[in-house]
Structure 1
């Protein structure tokens, strides 16, 4: 709107005729939704200074435009339905969960941490072993399954058993391989 007013000034005075024409063009310009302000109010475009055939304002063209809008809306709904077929929300985390944080540059799950705070919009405050705090969305956190320590059997002096090992054929000793200049192993040629 400021550009319309600024463009209506010519030779130091405000020209209301230029401003009126600019305002008419502004009202007919489509917005992000695809419809212009005049189409929203009057359900049809208004005539302005841009040349257009008079039949373009006829009711049959307006009905054709409405039909196209309905088709576009239906296609959009199908696209949303197709996308959401396999999409599902990630399960929420609780305070104390051990997680891995995804590095935004390398995309690797490398930094371990513990959830210390849960935010309102699927964001979590994670504390690393180094003491740093990171605020991350649920999408960039992966739960580490807790490692259950295996119970060690009670050691008693009288019942010490060692597993019996059967003598078997010893694995063949590999011949020493020579390194080449490229530090790759030389190919073994069977003769």
Structure 2
């Protein structure tokens, strides 16, 4: 939509443009106006009066089927490159990402696991924080206990098992870097 030269949006052209935008069908085959009112709105664009009859409107089932199909396509494209993080064990030392600075500067201990990838972590001050697994990293420097992992089990290697840490443990060092990018 083009604005008025003065930049004001209090004009009839802007209102007509907004009406057309609300009457334009989206990926489901229905427009926001059809979702709200159940039928398209009459606009300034010329249309035959029969075009507004219910027999010419898309079926609700067809639109819902298209929306479901699109959601499945989006999910499958996302899952092609997504990977799940390995589960953390109780009493495992972890680093927490600071939400403000985005740095991994807090240290804590895993206390419990909650179903959708959530962990309770006790920080040194005694406070227990609930954090998503995405914002927790195992702390390799402090060592980790050999407890059973919480939550869903995964077959992906933990950060302590990658080649870079094996080389550092054996003393070859050589500036090896973790290939999982978690440390």
Query: Which protein has greater RCO, CA pairs closer than 8 Å, 6+ apart?
Result: 2
TM range (shorter): 0.3 to 0.5
Taking structure 1 as the reference length, the TM-score comes to 0.43
- Structure number with bigger Rg: 1
Taking structure 2 as the reference length, the TM-score comes to 0.44
